Amino acid sequence: MRCPYCGNDDDKVIDTRTLAEGDSVRRRRECVNCGARFTSYEKIEDKPLMVIKQDGRREPFDRQKVVRGIERALEKRPVSQMDSENLVNEIENQSAKKGKTTREISSSDIGELVLKNLYLIDKVAYIRFASVYRHFENPDEFVEEIRKMEGSFDSENS
Ligand SMILES: [Zn+2]
The model's confidence at residue 154, banded by pLDDT at 50, 70 and 90, is low
Q: What local confidence, expressed as pLDDT, does residue 143 receive? A: 73
Q: What's the gap in Å between 45 CA and the centre of ligand 1? A: 28
- Gap from CA of 65 to ligand 1 centroid (Å): 53
Give the CA angle between residues 51, 100, 66 to the nearest 5°: 40
Strand, helix or coil for residue 112? helix
Mean pLDDT computed over 122-139: 82
> Ligand 1 mean position to 31 CA, how many Å?
5
Residue 158 has pLDDT above 50, yes or no: no
Ligand 1 centre from 8 Cα, in Å? 5
Residue 18 CA to ligand 1 centre (angstroms): 24
Contact at 8 Å (CB) between 133 and 111? yes
What values do phi and psi take at 3, rounded to 5?
Answer: -70, 130
CA of 13 to the centre of ligand 1 (A): 13
State the SS3 of the chain: CCCCCCCCCCEEEEEEEECCCCCEEEEEEEECCCCCEEEEEEECCCCCCEEECCCCCEEECCHHHHHHHHHHHHCCCCCCHHHHHHHHHHHHHHHHHHCCCCCEEEHHHHHHHHHHHHHHHCHHHHHHHHHHHCCCCCHHHHHHHHHHHHHHHHHHHC
pLDDT-based confidence at residue 145 (cuts at 50, 70, 90): confident
Distance CA 96, CA 91 (A): 9
> Within 13 Å of residue 49, how many CA atoms lie on the same side as its CB?
18
Quote the ligand 1 centre to 37 CA distance (angstroms).
Answer: 8
Could you give the percent of the chain with pLDDT greater than 90? 54
Range of weakest confidence among 80-89, 106-115, 143-152: 143-152
Residue 67 Cα distances to 10, 107, 132, angstroms: 51, 14, 15
Average pLDDT, rounded, for the chain: 85
Q: What confidence score (pLDDT) does residue 155 get? A: 52
- Per residue in 31-83, pLDDT tens? 999 999 999 887 766 678 899 998 999 999 999 999 999 999 999 999 999 99
